[in-house]
Amino acid sequence: MKIAEVCVNVTANSIQQNFTYLVPDRLKFLSAGWRVAIPFGTQKVDGFVINVGEVDDATEFPFELKEISGVIDDEAWFTTEMISAARWMAEFYLCPLSQTMGLFMPGRRGKKISVRFEKIYKPARAFDEENFKKNSVQLRFLKLLRERGELRTFELTEQKIPSAKIKPLIEAGFVEVEERRILRDSYSQIKSVPRSFELTAEQLTAIETVEKFLSAKKFQGFLLHGVTGSGKTQVYIELTKITRRLGRRVIILVPEIALTGQIVSNFKAYFSDVAVIHSGLSLTERSDTFYKIRNGEVGIVIGARSALFTPIENVGLIVIDEEQDSSYKQDKNSPRYHARIVAEEFAKFHEAAIIFGSATPSLETFYRAQKGELILLKMPRRVLDNPLPEVECADMRGELKAGNKEVLSRALLELLKKTLAENRQAIILLNRRGWSTVVMCRDCGEVAKCPDCGLPMTYHADGKLRCHRCETESEPPEICPSCGSRRIKFLGTGTEKLERALKFYFPSAKILRMDRDSTREKFGQKKILDAFAKHEADILFGTQMVAKGHDISGVTAVGILSADAALNFSNFRAAENCFALITQAAGRAGRADLPGKVIVQAYNVSAPAIKFGCEQDYEKFFASELPQREEIFFPPFCRLIKIIVASPKEDKAKIFAKEIVQMFKAEVVKNSAGRQEIFGPIKAAIANLRGVFRFSILIKSTDLSAVRKFLLEHELHKRTDILIDIDPSTTD
């Protein structure tokens, strides 16, 4: 009889093993990859078939086997590669297999993905026009059908031909009908044409270097380190051409949904088999895209980190553009994976080449390239030898001394006036949403905090306080809840307040704001960027989403406000993030024939991240930052593992966290061949989440396997009061 190993699709950390079920005769077609309905305890849930086998007698099992109840889809959903990838992720990130397999699903648990079909009408046999003279509608339909070869349902509506008139023609054998699946694609309207230009010597060298490994179908990692405007996207396109000629497929990852439109447009100029995947698409759109990928209609998948989890096979090239971006890290839900790490492992599965591209690589990636783990491809010049923009640093301390208390420095105001007078465009970056960043009591210093997660809330122009982590809203306090004072102060500047300032200084300018609040609707970012690219606005301002990847020829001026604000965060990557943001934002200026000018506003102008960011010199910044990382033993010299211990009782959480630290010191720190350090417990960044107290433990390790072994042996990964984050984006 047939049995199946099934991964039960439940979220409980405690269930991390698969279960065996009998396969009834009516489902004997089942194989690995099908989604099935199964009884589990007193519930009926769904599960994923991992393996199918035969046994002579089910009584050899120490328990009675239950039968699979039925199938959910019309075909197997998971490929062999998808199952292997999900297994690896579950083992590496110490989470249930059901969670990693869930990444490869576009829909909800246990639900069949709904699909839509339309009727296609085709001519079945010849007709005599004389026989239809009395029915002009039928004659018009038959003549139109003969002319076009087939007609779809929506075309009948356009031609005002009622379906009742067609039914007799079908019954008489003049017309045949078939059903065809409707495949939705929000990017179908994007059209583009190839641009004529000559590749630079650096582009050609990069392409030739990678091509050797593509032709050999051999895994290899590359770092494509090119300044902003050096033509990295064209390198991706040329390598995609080679990969497709070899009959293999390509995955292109971008960090932000807003960047997909531009890169899709670039790729569609050369390829017709492009598909897009990201969380901003509807469930049916994602399902339709999966269908096209599975059926071999797609050779190139472009999208955010979720684009890794499609049924794509025979991958020859994976590209991670802006590889340093924190958006590639999933840190809100389990599995807390990093797309950069997962993509490299997937490339090994497929024996593919993987390219990490950036003007400002993460220190970890650049360090790996220096050590020879990745092949370094340099592109230090812009295409056509266009110069990098001129960057000037405005010291805001000097502005205050001169009596300027406004958000815009005098230098930036002058640059904007000049730019607008020349009918050019400007981008302004202020990495803070809202109106005021902090609402604080002047008497006692109490800050308005989110009741759910405890983080400071931001005041918005609609009169609401909003938490930017969990989006909780509340009214601003009139009286301080701590001391009863009415002296409530609104501090700092957000994008909404900046918008008012720009409208005051430049009342005739057309201004667009791009932050999370202004882009909530579907494709909101793309609509704003498209309008700006058409010069329907003079100034685009917003949070960091305005700083990445956009190539808009009319932009000659960029302003970066509060550039050193990121340095105040308790994050070991603060300087790296600050440098990257300056360099990336500055890179939006002067990308065409006209030179660019950038004003960087900061208080701490001597900080290396500010200094080298203004010089746009990555290697100097790297040389400055790396020794500090080594001194404090942080990546790239170690791996980080963060453990959060949570409990409704504060003492209980703290005591258990201390026990974990003591056990780790006794069992791992003393005995590991590698260097191991453990810190904490301390209160987590979100110390109290909806009444649950949280304590954080940080492990620094050169031997990740020893840490994982410790966590597995103590079954900490199975506990509901423990959160494990490998390679966390923050340390507290």
Query: Could you write out the DSSP letters of every residue in 427-460?
Result: EEE----SSBSEEEETTT--B-B-TTT-PBPEE-
| pLDDT score for 686 | 84
Structure tokens at 62: 């120490």
The number of angstroms, rounded, from the C-alpha of 57 to the middle of its chain's C-alpha atoms is: 48
Task: Determine how β-strand 220-226 pairs with β-strand 315-321.
Answer: unpaired
Q: Tell me phi and psi for residue 685, to 5 degrees.
A: -55, -40
Rg (CA), the chain: 29
Q: Which helix (H) or strand (E) holds 722?
A: strand 722-726
Q: Tell me phi and psi for residue 389, to 5 degrees.
A: -65, 150
User: Beta partners for 252?
Assistant: 302, 319
Regions of the chain with pLDDT less than 50: 433-435
Closest C-alpha among 324, 295, 323 to residue 310: 295
Where does 277-373 have alpha helices with state H? 283-294, 339-350, 363-371
* Residue 178, SS3 per DSSP: strand
User: Quick check: bond before 335 cis, omega within 30?
Assistant: yes
Residue 1 CA to residue 24 CA, distance in Å, equals 9
Residue 707 CA to residue 642 CA, distance in Å, equals 11
User: Quick check: bond before 636 cis, omega within 30?
Assistant: yes
Residue 411 CA to residue 430 CA, distance in Å, equals 16
What is the 3-state secondary structure of 519-565?
CCCCCHHHHHHHHHHCCCCCEEEECHHHCCCCCCCCEEEEEECCCCH
* Residue 6, SS3 per DSSP: strand
Residue 232 CA to residue 113 CA, distance in Å, equals 37
* Residue 657, SS3 per DSSP: helix
User: Quick check: bond before 681 cis, omega within 30?
Assistant: yes
Residue 387 CA to residue 229 CA, distance in Å, equals 10
Where does 317-431 have alpha helices with state H? 339-350, 363-371, 396-401, 410-421
Residue type, 569: F
How many residues are given for the chain? Answer: 732
User: Beta partners for 541?
Assistant: 428, 513
User: Beta partners for 357?
Assistant: 224, 321
Evaluate the CA torsion angle 473, 476, 479, 485 in order and state its sign: positive
Beta strands in 187-282 (DSSP E): 220-226, 249-253, 274-277
Residue-wise DSSP of 625-679: HHHHHHHHT-TTSSEEEEEEEEESSHHHHHHHHHHHHHHHIIIIITT-SS-EEEE
Closest C-alpha among 475, 469, 476, 414 to residue 441: 476
User: Is 240 within 8 Å of 213 (Cβ atoms)?
Assistant: no
| pLDDT score for 434 | 45
| pLDDT score for 405 | 83
From its phi and psi, is residue 676 left (phi > 0), alpha (psi between -120 and 50) or beta? beta
Structure tokens at 55: 């046994």
Residue 223 CA to residue 374 CA, distance in Å, equals 6
User: Is 693 within 8 Å of 647 (Cβ atoms)?
Assistant: yes
Residue 252 CA to residue 31 CA, distance in Å, equals 31
Contacts for 130 with CB less than 8 Å, ≥ 6 apart: none
